[in-house]
A and B are shown apart, each in its own frame.
Chain A
Amino acid sequence: MAVRLVQKPGPGASLVIRGARVLDPEAGIDEVRDLVVRDGVIGGDPDGLEVVDAGGMVALPGFVDPHVHLRTPGREDLEDIATGSLAGAAGGFVTIIAMPNTTPVVDNAAVLGTLLERGEQEAVIRVGFLAAITVGQKGQELTEQAEMAALGAAGFSDDGHPVSDARVMRRALQYQAITGLPLVLHEEDVKLSGRGVMHEGAVASRLGMEGIPSISESVAVARDAALAEYEDGWIHICHVSAMETVEEIRRAKARGIRITGEVTPHHLALTDEAVTSLDASRHKMNPPLREESDRQALIAALADGTLDCVATDHAPHDADEKEVPFEEAPFGITGLETAFAVCNTSLVAPGHMTLELLARRMSADPARALGLPVPTLADGAVADVALVDPAARVVVGQDGFRSRSRNSAWLGEELLGRVALTIAGGRIAWRT
């Protein structure tokens, strides 16, 4: 059963990206040269094509985001497939995978089918859809996963909620024998999280806010790794935030379990100290921003491959929903438009990793984690290109947002890195 990635039809791009550093670690390409795209395919005759002057820029395989919220169906006022995919394009993404915690939940073939159809009409980049693991994401009954897999689901997730019942999780892992698709897991022991609104630690103690402990995440990962080992399953861990979780994943990988993990730009760049802003629009998310030791562990784990990839967990919210006292606001921030710049600013610029490694972690590795096609700049491939200027200074939000929401942690701040051009599925999806 093949995953369906949908995109609005359009003419294939034809242009020459002149003088960029062409960098595709997977294909072993790293040289300054022209990159030709003709009729949406890499390579061919450059004669007569539009020339894009890209001196000082880097042409990378387009990014893949395994974790975004498009708020469709149900909250199109926050985001829809058109705006969410455009936000992705503006961030250099060529493929994004939408979470099913919508209203209604994507827990049956009818809703999934409608989304796939709408994606074919609206998406400027490739969009795939995860379906729920359990009906209504209530954690009790499995959804009709074989039917949704046949329709083209990208995998299954109850994101927003953990599957608390171990027996249900075990059944879902057994069912993978039919679907062949990953279980994408929001890992949290909700009893341990309690009424927490931020990381449990010194900052929460000072602010008097209820904390979400790190072990709320890691004990859930430990359980699911054990179940995956027992059932020979395939699991992908969403938005890893804590040092303890990194250790669980490291141990699970060492035992040969098929487990991958993602980490968000905000967990790589920020700590719970930011929460002293008491600005929920910027700094309230779940899992919460944790401590510097966690941040360092996440960076190291992304560098050494314990964590496989970057995922934005792009979570658009209405300004009014967020302009309430911190404790009362919903969780989540946007991320598609700033992901590359945040990672470039906080990982590459300080020397935590090379641009080459970041490119892997934002493109080939997330694609592999979910079993999606890997973008490449090799001759003959469909063009999936992110042309970036890593040295450009950009003030976030200065030119507005393509997303319908603007709840960014970096609103008004300067970051290093700009996406100048995105070609997704052979079509020009974004251009500054």
Chain B
Amino acid sequence: MTRRSLLTIGDLDRAEVARILRVGNRFAEVMTRDIKKVPTLRGRTIINMFFEASTRTSTSFELAGKRLSADVVNVKGSGSSVEKGETLKDTVITLNSYAPDVLVIRHASVGACAMAARYTDAAVISAGDGKHEHPTQTLLDLYTIEREVGPLDGLHIAFVGDVAHSRVARSGIRGFQMMGARVSLIAPPTLLPRDAGAALGVETSTDVRDVTDADVVYVLRMQLERMGPGGFVPSLREYAMTYGINHGRLRPGQRVMHAGPINRGVEISGELADDPTTLIERQAANGMVVRMAVLYDLLAGPSGSPEPAGAPIGAVAV
């Protein structure tokens, strides 16, 4: 039987998101213990397939699986059969023959996770496909905002910067809106997708001063590796001057997020990045517990079954 997958944030509804965030809270409690491991997914197999460079996402997925006691195998793009010319389809078919429970896939191309899901019986979790979506990032962002800022309902979140190349923004817009937030995009015109306002159902602005309207300023990384020759802005120096977020552009009380890794001094000033009031470090820390919650939800707590009680998750530490 094909398992439920998480390919886009749209695969979840509001109630399911809320449930995952609650489960995340329980796992956050486990992480405060001396022994940060529970037997919840003992005997389950998770294969992490990262065909694109990643540090935080791959590490947090690996740790999430291990702290749930699952058997975790990591496949990287380099050094794998893919480097020898094997197609993604064949790699997925091969790995599927080992009967894994979950495939976590990061790939540089839109649709790679959806295609992989057609050739495996395992649950597929997108850990980012091209510029399309990065649903677990959105879940950890939602979790972080709820804990650090408050309920999403009625909040105004502004994404600033390289929207065109951002899967974080594309998932985030859908996820934040689903949970009741208002989302706007602030970017140079060359980095706003065509018809972004109508296509994504958001307000758009090219004036960085509009960031002061937002409760949360979500700074996007300039994805130079996706831009290719020709450039989308004349120079990083000019970009930093016109769109870089620093203390001077914010009003008191605004919270700042960034999915990392940051280009220090480009989209965000070093001073602001290091400011303890930003949520950047919290996002990273929350990534693991939210990914534990996603793995738990797909494998142990399918939609409709009762949520885990507070105790069982952590009670039987091994």
Q: Mark A323-340, 1 if CB is under 8 A from B, else 0.
A: 111111000000000000
* Given contacts A320-B87, A324-B115, A207 and B195 within 8 Å (CB-CB): no
Query: Besides A278-B110, A325-B107, 11 other CB < 8 A contacts?
Result: A205-B194, A205-B199, A206-B200, A208-B131, A208-B167, A209-B130, A278-B111, A320-B87, A325-B88, A326-B115, A327-B110
A194–B230 alpha-carbon span in the complex (Å): 10
User: B53: CB under 8 A from chain A?
Assistant: no
In the assembled complex, A43 has its CB within 8 A of some CB on chain B: no
Chain A 221-250 interface mask (CB, 8 Å, partner B; 1/0)? 000000000000000000000000000000
Q: List 13 A-B contacts (CB under 8 A).
A: A202-B198, A202-B199, A205-B195, A205-B199, A206-B170, A208-B132, A208-B170, A209-B131, A211-B193, A320-B87, A325-B109, A327-B109, A328-B109
Asked if B114 lies at the interface with its beta carbon under 8 angstroms from chain A, I say yes
B129 within 8 A of A: yes
In whole angstroms, what is the CA distance A202 to B195 when docked? 6
CB distance from A247 to the nearest CB of B (A): 19
Instruction: Say yes or no: is A204 at the interface (Cβ < 8 Å to chain B).
Output: yes
Nearest A-chain residue to B109, judged by Cβ: A325
Q: A323 contacts B195, CB within 8 Å?
A: no
Are B87 and A204 touching (Cβ within 8 A)? no
Q: Are A201 and B109 in contact (CB under 8 A)?
A: no
Digitize B102-128: 1 where CB-to-A-CB distance is under 8 Å, 0 elsewhere: 000001011110110000000000000
- Chain B interface residues toward A at CB < 8 A: 87-89, 107, 109-112, 114-115, 129-133, 166-167, 170, 193-196, 198-200, 228, 230
- Contact A278/B167 with A202-B198, A205-B200, A211-B194 known, Cβ cut-off 8 Å: no
A171 at the interface (CB under 8 A from B): no
Q: Check A200 against B194 for contact (C-beta < 8 Å).
A: yes
- Contact of B228 with A195 in the complex, beta carbons under 8 Å: yes
Whether a CB of chain B sits under 8 angstroms from the CB of A203 is yes
Shortest CB–CB separation between residue A380 and chain B, in angstroms?
A: 55
Residue of B nearest to A191 (CB): B230
Q: How far is the CA of A203 from the CA of B133 in the complex (A)?
A: 14
Pair A325/B195 contact, Cβ less than 8 Å:
no
Q: Do B199 and A326 touch across chains, with their CB atoms under 8 A apart? A: no
B130 contacts A278, C-beta separation under 8 Å:
no
Question: With A325-B115, A327-B130 given, is the CB distance from A204 to B194 under 8 Å?
Answer: yes
Please tell me which one of the listed residues A205, A326, A328 contacts residue B193 in the complex, with CB atoms under 8 A apart: A205
**How far apart are the CA atoms of A326 and B133 in the complex, in Å?**
14
The residue of chain B having its C-beta at the shortest distance from the C-beta of A199 within the complex is B194
Partner pick for A209 among B89, B115, B132, B228, CB 8 A cutoff: B132
The complex places the Cα of A226 from the Cα of B132 at a distance, in Å, of: 40
CA distance A173 to B83 in the complex (A): 46
State the CA gap A195–B133 with chains docked (Å).
19
Q: In whole angstroms, what is the CA distance A194 to B114 when docked?
A: 25
- What residues of A have a CB within 8 angstroms of the CB of B170 in the complex? 206, 208
Residue of A nearest to B112 (CB): A325
A contact residues vs B (CB 8 Å cutoff):
194-195, 200-211, 213, 278, 280, 320, 323-328
Q: What is the chain A residue whose CB lies nearest that of B196?
A: A205
- Residues from chain A with a CB closer than 8 A to the CB of B200 are 205-206
Query: When A and B form their complex, which 7 residue pairs have the shortest distance between CB atoms, in order from nearest?
Result: A202-B199, A208-B131, A325-B109, A205-B193, A278-B111, A326-B111, A325-B112
A202: chain B residues within 8 A (beta carbon) = 194-195, 198-199
What chain B residues lie within 8 Å of A323 (beta carbons)? 87, 89, 115
Which A residues lie within 8 Å of B198 (CB)? 202
List residues of chain A with CB within 8 A of the CB of B112.
Answer: 325
Known A-B contacts A202-B199, A209-B130; the reply to A324 vs B89 at CB < 8 A is yes
Q: Which of B109, B111, B195, B198 has the most CB of A within 10 A?
A: B111
Chain A nearest CB from B130 CB (Å) reads 6
Note all chain B residues with C-beta closer than 8 A to A325.
88, 107, 109-112, 115, 129-130
Residue of chain A at shortest CB distance from B7: A278
Task: Determine which of B88, B107, B195 lies in contact with A201 in the assembled complex, contact meaning CB atoms within 8 Å.
Answer: B195
Neighbour of B115 across the interface among A203, A205, A210, A278, CB < 8 A: A278
Separation of A57 and B170 alpha carbons in the complex (Å): 51
In the complex, the chain B residue whose C-beta lies closest to that of A200 is B194
Q: Is the beta-carbon distance between B89 and A201 smaller than 8 angstroms?
A: no
CA distance A241 to B185 in the complex (A): 30
For the complex formed, measure the closest distance between the CB of A2 and the CB atoms of chain B, giving whole angstroms: 47
Report chain A residues within 8 Å CB of B88.
324-325
> Could you say which of B107, B130, B195, B228 contacts A208, with CB atoms under 8 Å apart?
B130
Distance (whole angstroms) from the CB of B114 to the closest CB of chain A = 5
Is the CB–CB distance between A327 and B195 below 8 Å? no
Assess whether A324 is in contact with B87, with CB atoms less than 8 Å apart: yes
Minimum distance in angstroms from B133 CB to a CB of chain A:
7
Could you say which residues of chain B place their CB within 8 Å of the CB of A200? Answer: 194
Which chain B residue lies CB-closest to A202?
A: B199
* A327 lies within 8 A of B199 (CB): no
**In the complex, what distance in Å separates the CA atom of A327 from the CA atom of B111?**
8
Q: Select from chain B the residue with minimum beta-carbon distance to A291.
A: B195
A207 touches B110 (CB 8 A): yes
Determine which residue in B89, B110, B170, B195 has the highest number of CB atoms from chain A within 10 A of its CB, and name it: B110
The reply to whether B87 and A207 form a contact with Cβ atoms under 8 Å apart is no
- Nearest CB in chain A to that of B170: its residue: A208
Q: Are A209 and B110 in contact (CB under 8 A)?
A: yes
Contacts of A280 in B (CB 8 A): 111
A326 to B88, CA, bound (A): 12
A320 to B115, CA, bound (A): 13
B residues within 8 A CB of A320?
A: 87, 89
- Chain A residues with CB under 8 A of B89: 320, 323-324
Q: Which residues of B contact A201 (CB under 8 A)?
A: 194-195, 199
> What's the Cα separation between A330 and B129 when bound, in Å?
19
How far is A207 from B109 in the complex, measured between Cα atoms in Å? Answer: 11
State the CA gap A326–B89 with chains docked (Å): 12
Q: Which residue of B lies closest to A208 (CB)?
A: B131
Residues of B within 8 A of A195 (CB): 228
Distance of B141 from chain A, by nearest CB (Å): 17
